[in-house]
Amino acid sequence: MKSSDANDGTPACDVCIIGAGIAGLNALFVASRYLSRAQKIILVDRHPRAGGMWVDTYPYVRLHQPHPLFTAGDIKWTIGKERAYLATKTEVLDHFEHCVSVVAERIQVEEHYGCEYRSHEETGEGVRITCVDGDGTPLVITADRLIKAFGANVAPMDPLQVSSSRMRSVSPNFCDVRHDDIARSDTPVWIIGGGKTAMDTASALLTTCPGREVNLVAGPGTIFFDRDRIMPPGARRWWGGVLPSRLFIDLTRRFDGTNESEVQDWLLATAGLSVTPRADNCFAGLLSESEQRTIRGGLHTVVMDHLQDAVDRNGAVELVFRSGDVASVMPGSWLVNCTGYLLHTSTPYEPYVSPGGSVLSIQTRSATFGFLSFSGYFLAHLMFRDKLRELPLYALDADELRTKTHTAAPITYAALALHLHNLSMIYDELGPSVFLRCGLDFDRWYPLHRRLRGTTHFIRTHRRDQEHNRRTLDTIGDRFNVRCGPVVGV
């Protein structure tokens, strides 16, 4: 094992992990369980600290789910808040650093931040990885195994480019709507987008600037999972609500790869909610009923369309929509780009496991789980048990699917089918002990007796559901002509 630098001065390690976001830190946690104290992991990230997308995201973001359910492995939070608390950006970043520190108590962890991955070469002796630091200085690492935890490859959102010189265009990444010029202004705000970023931005504006005119251009609208129904607060978790695992199972049983509209209706009636009059998108985000009321009650105008441009015309400013409709707006109004982070970047296709089995790649071109954090946890277990190439998991090219769908609903429902299909296969391969240490399990919100009922239901039915989900995924692959199936050639 490579526990020290190579003879030529090249840093050497047993495992190199590229990416210190939630997927990379779960892979780090798992790797530390298989390696000895004398062995070494090198952790590389392009950001100045651990945190992945949380380093770049807007300052008023809050965690979607209760904070204990967002961690690496089963590492506990130390902030001392009640269980339902939604952590802030700073608290999430501090927890990520805490996770790295906890792992570093078990095994050597060498951290390289501000370094960009460039390439790797898989050889008979391991993997040679090339990165560069902020000054362009090469960093070459040799490792027995490489885990590329790129996740969704999220990048900060830029302001929208519009033709009008009398609209002020910003994005949450470069403008804190609670404090910057936008908060000190009194002209109307037009939020562009209908997902979680748009909801966070609307909530921040409406609560810090009461009475401000805030408008929403929501596209097709978004269905959110109702946090109060799948993670009910207080004593209700002992008897009320719907276990997330059971909700996902019931949803995927209804989805056959073609009927997303029918599933949308069922979800809204069961455990979904929307701020807009109609909703055709679903990104698996969470929203509470109180957040829904605040936003819905505070919005001045909701436009169910897509913005094409803002133009100066005959002394007025007009928003031009995809449908051809226009809306006159006050000069000096603000546009806030909240069109979202997920599946907006384009990366070359790469299978989740290399032909030699020494490289694990966690990304959206060959996604294996609906939640990338689960990929970091479970695929790393398979890698260290030498089962990553043996198990014929399904992989979905979510990036390509995005380009061929009108809404995100088929992507979301296919991702949940993929999640449960592969989870079923991994359960049969690895057994329950690996699942018991997974702190990401949403069912952990509920008391033990309810979780046991959910687990019993999964164990009893997962093989039958696995076959249904396989057929659903095959249908998605054929319907949209995208990669969706076991990786060929590994």
CA–CA dist 363, 415 (Å, integer): 13
Give the model's pLDDT for residue 347. 82
CA–CA dist 51, 41 (Å, integer): 17
pLDDT band at 4 (very low <50, low <70, confident <90, very high): very low
Element holding 415 (H helix, E strand)? helix 409-430
pLDDT band at 129 (very low <50, low <70, confident <90, very high): very high
Mean pLDDT score, 6-30: 90
Is pLDDT at 156 greater than 90 in this prediction? no
Per residue in 52-62, pLDDT (tens digit) is 999 999 999 99
Per residue in 399-417, pLDDT (tens digit) is 999 999 988 889 999 999 9
Q: Which residues are within 8 A (CB) of 432 and not within 5 positions of it... i.e. 6 or more apart?
A: none
Mean pLDDT score, 87-98: 98
Per residue in 168-208, pLDDT (tens digit) is 999 999 999 999 899 999 999 999 999 999 999 999 999 99
Least confident segment among 7-11, 304-308, 327-331:
7-11
Give the model's pLDDT for residue 15. 98
Give the model's pLDDT for residue 10. 77
Give the model's pLDDT for residue 1. 44
DSSP calls for 139-187: EEEEEEEEEEEEET---PPPPPP-S-SSSEEE-TTT--TTTSHHHH--S
Per residue in 274-316, pLDDT (tens digit) is 999 999 988 889 999 999 999 999 999 999 999 999 999 988 8
Look at the domain 12-155+344-486 and name its fold.
FAD/NAD(P)-binding domain (3.50.50)
DSSP calls for 454-490: HHHHHHHHHHHHHHHHHHHHHHHHHHHT--EEEPTT-
Mean pLDDT score, 4-17: 78
Give the model's pLDDT for residue 6. 54
Right CATH number for 168-221+274-337 from 3.40.50.11030, 3.50.50.60, 3.30.750.24, 2.40.160.20? 3.50.50.60
Give the model's pLDDT for residue 3. 44
Percentage above 70 pLDDT, the chain: 96
Is pLDDT at 273 greater than 70 in this prediction? yes
Query: How do the domains of the chain map onto residue ranges?
Result: 12-155+344-486, 168-221+274-337
Give the model's pLDDT for residue 315. 85
CB 14 within 8 A of CB 40: yes
Per residue in 66-91, pLDDT (tens digit) is 999 999 999 999 999 999 999 999 99
Token pair recorded at residue 249: 């199972």
At residue 388, the 3 state secondary structure works out as coil
**Would you say the CATH fold of 168-221+274-337 matches that of 12-155+344-486?**
yes
Mean pLDDT score, 442-450: 96
Give the model's pLDDT for residue 72. 97
Per residue in 109-119, pLDDT (tens digit) is 999 999 999 99
pTM of the model: 0.94
- pLDDT mean across residues, the chain: 94
Strand bridging mode 214-217 / 301-303: parallel
Is pLDDT at 258 greater than 70 in this prediction? yes
CB 241 within 8 A of CB 230: yes
